[in-house]
Structure 1
Amino acid sequence: MESSFKGILYPARLPTFHRLPAPAPVADLVQWFWIPEWDIEPGRTSRQHLIAYPGSNLVVQLHGVVFSGPTTRAAHQDLAGRGWAVGALLRPAAVPLFTNDPSGLQDTEVAVAADRLHCAVAEAMNTHDGDTRRERAVDAFAGWLACFTDPEVSGEALLANRLMDVIGSDASVVRVEDVASLLAVSKRTLQRVAKKYIGLSPAALIRRRRLQDAAERTRQDPSADLAAIAAELGYADHAHLTNDFQKYLGFTPSTYRRAVAGDGS
């Protein structure tokens, strides 16, 4: 599984946070389940900054269920009081179950009428049986999703999953042509499948992975040369890395590194 904190800009600010693998019956539909739990003292909030994975999420919250479309920029969530959420990072094959136009839901959340799902997950999370509540919540979520969906996943949907897998896991993939070659399909096919199942272009997916990797390397190795990180991740030079940070995150790599160091001090 991916690093637990990849995509999370300031891990030191996190509440309790877990990622759990998708059970086998929904492995083609869910990348993983994620569960934050928090208990913030009265009068305070905890702001969580993310470079979200370039996919959609189905999230069970205290008061309902939402479908969260693909994001195009860094985002934040303010936590207050006491609470929890159970989210499924959806694989592309699952997205058409909830929308026919994921690109139309970029940076957007919409409510989902799923009372049975909400009740089952809430019942698991509100018990006091230690860590098993999280596993029970995931089992309930996965069981609902498996019953809600067609057991047969189409070849096109599986291609969309492979597209996301290749871009997300292979750092040598820096151009759309690289993906097309590895999957033995045309660029036009990749673009069509990405639009239908993900809502972001293949080029945007590559950019997001590189930005996540750059933020993680910058955070984990304070002594690493930023120009070397840029070269390692396929940026033309340090300036291009800095431009991506500034455009999508709102600050430079050096500013981010200083902020992380301050969190850990």
Structure 2
Amino acid sequence: MPAILHPRAGDEKFRFRAPAAAPRLRPYVEHYWIVTWDLPEPYEQSVLPYPAVNMTFKAGRCRVAGVPSGRFCEVLSGAGRVFGVRFRPGGFHPFLGGPVSSITDRFVPVEDMFGPALPEAILAAGDDTAVEIMDEFLAARAPERPDADAELAEAIVAHSAADPGLTRVDDLAGAFGMTTRRLQRLFADYVGVGPKWVIRRHRLHEAADRVAAGESLAGLASALGYSDQAHLTRDFRAMIGETPARYAKAQ
């Protein structure tokens, strides 16, 4: 899932649910997600992205979100709800019908991609009904059989996530018996970002979680394959917007 930065503060500001998609959609959809809030003052939530496409429905703004290459922020104000679809890495490819990299760092209105009826139905529905509507909509458009390359892309992303000490693209390619160039093409078509981005992002997800848990920076830098503590600190601050020490203190 996208890494919600400063999650304890977020828990006080909004409610998050992640209903499952229908079994027929499991090769494509990780889960649905619903965020609701009722706030007296605006609240800004920062998120570290995951290599997956999301489709979101919020009053006045329904869009397909390609993978953002950097940290992004969402401002919540008043009372509201967002209904989202989190696709698996590679899972949006059959619905897009083209390279997922074509929408990286882009927001495409759902109306432009799928027509106006879907946003109208989702926004008017309660949570459980919205899940049923989305199940039916996606199932009608999903292939009868999953794409083998999409499954491969998801497996490679999962392998990268499971080994936070992995640092080299050629090592990731070699683990699956392919060339670096073949891996890069696969990720451009199905994931939307390159394998180097995925490796780096997983290390930062892991770093944020373990820094928040109080792990020492020196040990963490070594475990995650950084050359030293200073290297980890630079990478962490560049993406998350603050040093590991400050982030840990805020938890």
TM-score by length of 2: 0.88
> What code does the residue aligned with 1:8 have?
I
Query: What are the within-5 Å matches in structure 2 for residues 181-220 of structure 1?
Result: 181-219=174-212
SS in 2 for 1:16: strand
1:169-202 deviation per Cα after TM superposition (whole angstroms, max 9, x unaligned): 3334332233223322222211101011122110
Name 2:144's counterpart in structure 1: 151
Name 1:235's counterpart in structure 2: 226
1:55-79 deviation per Cα after TM superposition (whole angstroms, max 9, x unaligned): 2111122235311011111111001
> What code does the residue aligned with 2:56 have?
V
Question: How many angstroms does 1:99 deviate by?
Answer: 6.2
Structure 1: tracts of 5 or more residues without a match = 126-132, 261-265
Name 2:240's counterpart in structure 1: 249
1:224-249 deviation per Cα after TM superposition (whole angstroms, max 9, x unaligned): 21111111222222111111112212
Name 1:263's counterpart in structure 2: none
Query: What are the within-5 Å matches in structure 2 for residues 139-178 of structure 1?
Result: 139-178=132-171
Change in CA separation of 1:239 and 1:54 when aligned onto 2, cut-off 3 Å: same
In structure 1, C-alpha distance between the alignment counterparts of 2:118 and 2:227, rounded to whole Å: 46
Name 2:118's counterpart in structure 1: 117
Bigger mean CA offset, 205-214 vs 172-181: 172-181
Bigger mean CA offset, 138-147 vs 165-174: 165-174
Question: How many angstroms does 1:167 deviate by?
Answer: 1.8
Change in CA separation of 1:124 and 1:168 when aligned onto 2, cut-off 3 Å: farther
> What code does the residue aligned with 1:19 have?
A
SS in 1 for 2:92: helix
In structure 2, C-alpha distance between the alignment counterparts of 1:167 and 1:258, rounded to whole Å: 28
Query: What are the within-5 Å matches in structure 2 for residues 8-47 of structure 1?
Result: 8-14=4-10, 15-41=14-40, 44-47=41-44
Percent of residue pairs identical: 30
Name 1:130's counterpart in structure 2: none
1:134-170 deviation per Cα after TM superposition (whole angstroms, max 9, x unaligned): x443232122111122222222222222222222333
Change in CA separation of 1:28 and 1:243 when aligned onto 2, cut-off 3 Å: same
TM-score by length of 1: 0.84
Bigger mean CA offset, 10-19 vs 88-97: 88-97
1:5-29 deviation per Cα after TM superposition (whole angstroms, max 9, x unaligned): x611111232001223333111111
CA contact (8 A) 2:92 2:100 kept: no
CA contact (8 A) 1:37 1:83 kept: yes
SS in 2 for 1:76: strand
In structure 1, C-alpha distance between the alignment counterparts of 2:164 and 2:95, rounded to whole Å: 30
Name 2:80's counterpart in structure 1: 83
Query: What are the within-5 Å matches in structure 2 for residues 47-58 of structure 1?
Result: 47-58=44-55
Change in CA separation of 1:37 and 1:255 when aligned onto 2, cut-off 3 Å: same
CA contact (8 A) 2:25 2:142 kept: no
CA contact (8 A) 1:55 1:71 kept: no
Change in CA separation of 1:99 and 1:258 when aligned onto 2, cut-off 3 Å: farther
Are 1:66 and 2:66 an aligned pair?
no
Structure 2: tracts of 5 or more residues without a match = none
Structure 1 outlier segments of 4+, above 6 Å: none
Question: How many angstroms does 1:257 deviate by?
Answer: 1.6
Name 1:129's counterpart in structure 2: none
* Superposition CA RMSD, Å: 2.1
CA contact (8 A) 2:166 2:224 kept: no
> What code does the residue aligned with 1:60 have?
F
Q: 2:95 aligns with which of 97, 109, 127?
A: 97
> What code does the residue aligned with 2:125 have?
A
